[in-house]
Amino acid sequence: PRSKTDLLSLLKSSHRTGVKQICEAGEVGMLQHVRRFDGERGTRLTWMHHGIAHEEYHRAQIALYARLLGRTPALTRLIEGG
């Protein structure tokens, strides 16, 4: 993507694809076991939760870096009504 508009379009498209795949897998599919990168087995749902937690970790890092630069993170601005 070469612009903010292109990036947002790509993110929205990727999100729609992910939602569709989760819906198609259904509850039974999400509870099936898969092999993780470390060779262990776990359910797709557990692995998805791991991915969400990992993304939240990085989101917090970005918020901290923004604060260290004297900026207010976007979510904080939203919560504060700004």
pLDDT in tens, 31-46: 999 999 999 999 999 9
pLDDT value at position 27?
A: 96
CA distance 3 to 11: 12
pLDDT value at position 59?
A: 94
Integer CA distances (angstroms), 64 to 58, 68, 69, 73, in order: 10, 6, 9, 8
CA distance 30 to 35: 13
Which tops the pLDDT comparison, 70 or 82? 70
27 within 8 A of 44, measured Cβ to Cβ: no
Residue type, 29: G
Q: What is the CA radius of gyration of the chain?
A: 17
Residue type, 69: L
**Tell me: the pLDDT tens digits for 6-61?**
999 999 999 999 999 999 999 999 999 999 999 999 999 999 999 999 999 999 99
